[in-house]
Structure 1
Amino acid sequence: MSIPDKRTEMLRNGTIKKTLLTLAIPSIIGMVVNGIYNIVDTIFVGRIGTSAVGAVAVVFPFFMLISSLGIAIGMGSASYISRSLGRDNKKEAENTAITGILLVVGIGIALMFLGLHYLEDILRLFGATESILSYGLDYGRVLVIGSPFVMLKMFFNNVMRAEGSVKASMVALLLGAVLNIVLDPIFIFTFDMGIRGAAVATIISQAISVVFQVWYYQSRRSYLQLRLKGYRPNRVIISQIFIIGLPLFFTQGLNSGAMALVNNAASDFGDAAVAAMGIVKRVMSLGLFALFGYSQAFLPVAGFNYGAKRYDRLWEAIRFSIKLSTIFTIVISVFIIGLSEQVMSWFSDDPEVLAIGARALRAYSIPFPMLGFQLIYFSLFQALGRGVPAGLLSVSRQGLILIPAVLFLPLWIGLDGVILAQPVADGLTILMTGFLAIRINKEIKNNIVAHKEMAAVE
Structure 2
Amino acid sequence: MSVSAQEKSKLILTGPIAPTLWSLTWPMIFGVATLISFNVVDTFFISLLGTEELAAIGFTFPVTFTVISLTIGLGIGTSAVIARKLGADDHEGARHAGSSALWLAAGLVALLAAIGYLSSDFIFSRLGASASIKTLIDSYMNIWFLGAVLLVIPMIGNSVLRAAGDTKTPSLIMALGGLMNAVLDPILIFGLGPIPALGIQGAAIASVISWSVGFSAIIYLLIWRRRLIDPLPESVLAFWQQSRQLLSIGLPAASANMLTPLALGVLTAIVATHGAPAVAAFGAGARLESIASVVILALSMTLPPFISQNFGAGQMDRVQDAYKVALKLVIAVQAVAYVLMLLLLPVIQMAFARDAEVARVLAWFVWIMPLGYGVQGCIILTNSSLNALHRPMQALSLSLVRLFVMFVPLSWLGNQLAGLPGLFAGGVIANILTAVIAYRWFMRLTNDLRGEIPPAALAKAAKAAKAQESSHGA
- How high is the TM-score relative to the length of structure 2? 0.89
Of 289, 298, 302, 1:284 maps to 289
AA at the equivalent of 1:265:
I
CA change 1:264–1:308 in 2 (3 A) is same
Aligned length: 455
Displacement of 1:454 in angstroms is 9.9
In structure 2, give the amino acid aligned to 1:311.
M
CA distance in 2, matches of 1:356, 1:428: 25
- Equivalent residue for 2:97? 96
2:230 corresponds to 1:226: yes
Q: By how many angstroms is 1:62 displaced?
A: 0.6
Please state whether the residue corresponding to 1:401 is helix, strand or coil: helix
The change in CA–CA distance for 1:301 and 1:252 in structure 2 (over 3 A counts) is closer
Using a 3 Å threshold, how does the CA distance of structure 1 residues 340 and 308 change in structure 2: closer, same or farther? Answer: same
Deviations 1:106-128 (A, max 9, x none): 12322333222221222222332
Secondary structure class of the residue paired with 1:106: helix
Are 2:197 and 1:192 aligned?
A: yes
Q: Residue 281 of structure 1 aligns to which amino acid in structure 2? A: A
Query: Cα gap change, 1:310/1:441 in structure 2, threshold over 3 Å: closer, same or farther?
Result: closer
Moved more, 43-52 or 327-336: 327-336
Match for residue 14 of structure 2? 13
Q: 1:68 touches 1:151 (CA, 8 Å); kept in 2?
A: no
Task: State the shift of 1:172 in Å.
Answer: 1.1
Measured after TM superposition, the shift of residue 205 of structure 1 is: 0.5
SS, match of residue 275 in structure 1: helix
Cα 1:362/1:447, change in 2 over 3 Å? farther
Which one of the candidate residues 320, 323, 347 is aligned to 1:318?
Answer: 323
From 240, 253, 256, the equivalent of 2:261 is 256
Q: Which residue identity does 2:172 align to in structure 1? A: V
For residue 397 of structure 1, what is the aligned residue in structure 2?
402
Q: CA deviation at 1:243?
A: 2.6
State the match for 1:30 in structure 2: 31
SS at match of 2:290: helix
What do residues 58-87 of structure 1 show as CA deviations (whole Å, max 9, x unaligned)?
A: 011111111112111111111011101011
What residue is the counterpart of 2:135 in the other structure?
134
User: Within 2, Cα distance between the matches of 1:229 and 1:391?
Assistant: 29
Task: Name the counterpart of 2:112.
Answer: 111
What residue number does 1:211 align with? 216
Tell me which amino acid in the other structure corresponds to 1:420.
A
Once the two structures are overlaid, the 10-residue window that deviates more, 320-329 or 180-189, is 320-329
Amino acid corresponding to residue 66 of structure 2 in structure 1: L
Distance (whole Å) between structure 1 residues aligned to residue 233 and residue 198 of structure 2: 44
CA distance, structure 2, for counterparts of residue 415 and residue 321 of structure 1 = 32
Distance 1:4 1:412 in 2: 53
Letter in 1 for 2:115: L
Bigger Cα displacement from structure 2, 358-367 vs 391-400: 391-400
Quote the offset at 1:393 in angstroms. 2.2
Change (3 A) 1:108 1:434: closer
Of residues 175-184 and 163-172 in structure 1, the stretch that sits farther from structure 2 once superposed is 163-172
Does residue 351 (structure 1) correspond to residue 352 (structure 2)? The answer is no
CA-CA distance at 1:236 after TM superposition: 5.1
User: RMSD in angstroms over aligned alpha carbons?
Assistant: 2.6
Tell me: CA distance 1:5–1:150, structure 2 relative to 1, closer, same or farther (3 Å).
closer
Q: Following the alignment from structure 1 to structure 2, what is the Cα–Cα distance between the partners of residues 4 and 438?
A: 30
1:332-343 paired onto structure 2 within 5 Å: 332-343=337-348
Q: Deviations over 1:205-262 (max 9, x none)?
A: 011111111011123336x233426344255533332232222222233221221222
Q: Answer with 62-71 or 433-442: which moved more.
A: 433-442
| Structure 2 CA distance for partners of 1:268 and 1:5, relative to 1, 3 Å | closer
Alpha-carbon offset, residue 140 of structure 1: 1.0
Normalised to the residue count of structure 1, the TM-score between the two structures is 0.92
The more displaced of 406-415 and 371-380 is: 406-415
* Cα distance between partner residues in 1 of 2:440 and 2:332: 22
5+ residue gaps, structure 1, are none
Shift of 1:426: 1.6
Equivalent positions of 1:119-130 (< 5 A) are 119-130=120-131
Return the offset for 1:420: 3.1
Distance 2:178 2:5 in 1: 27
Contact 2:315–2:461 (Cα < 8 Å) also in 1: no
Q: How far did 1:53 drift?
A: 0.5
Partner of 1:416: 421
SS in 2 for 1:403: helix
- Cα separation, partners in 2 of 1:236 and 1:400, compared to 1, 3 Å: farther
* Alpha carbons 2:386, 2:442 under 8 Å: kept: no
Separation in 1 of the partners of 2:324 and 2:59? 38
Q: Is the 8 A contact 1:402 1:421 kept in 2?
A: yes
Shift of 1:438: 3.7
Instruction: For residues 310-358 of structure 1, give each alpha carbon's deviation from its aligned partner in whole angstroms, at most 9, with x where no partner exists.
Output: 2333233223222222211111122223433432321123111011111
Contact 1:255/1:399 (<8 A) preserved: no
Percent identity, aligned pairs only, is: 27
Partner letter of residue 337 of structure 1? L
Q: 1:126 touches 1:257 (CA, 8 Å); kept in 2?
A: no
2:124 alignment partner AA: L
Between the aligned partners of 1:255 and 1:453, the Cα distance in structure 2 is 40
Asked if the contact 2:100/2:233 (under 8 Å) is kept, the reply is: no
Counterpart of 1:59 in structure 2 is: 60
The aligned runs of 1:37-76 (5 Å cut-off) are: 37-76=38-77
SS in 1 for 2:40: helix
Supply the distance in 1 between the matched residues of 2:336 and 2:91 (Cα, whole angstroms). 40
- Measure the CA separation in 1 of the matches of 2:407 and 2:295: 22
SS in 2 for 1:69: helix
The range that moved more, 127-136 or 199-208, is: 127-136
Tell me how far apart the structure 1 counterparts of residues 366 and 229 of structure 2 sit (CA, whole Å): 45
The aligned counterpart of 2:471 is none
1:33 CA displacement = 1.2
Amino acid corresponding to residue 234 of structure 2 in structure 1: G
* Residue pair 2:65, 2:261 contacting (<8 A) in 1 also: yes
Moved more, 375-384 or 167-176: 375-384
Give the conservation status (yes or no) of the 8 Å contact 1:255–1:398: yes
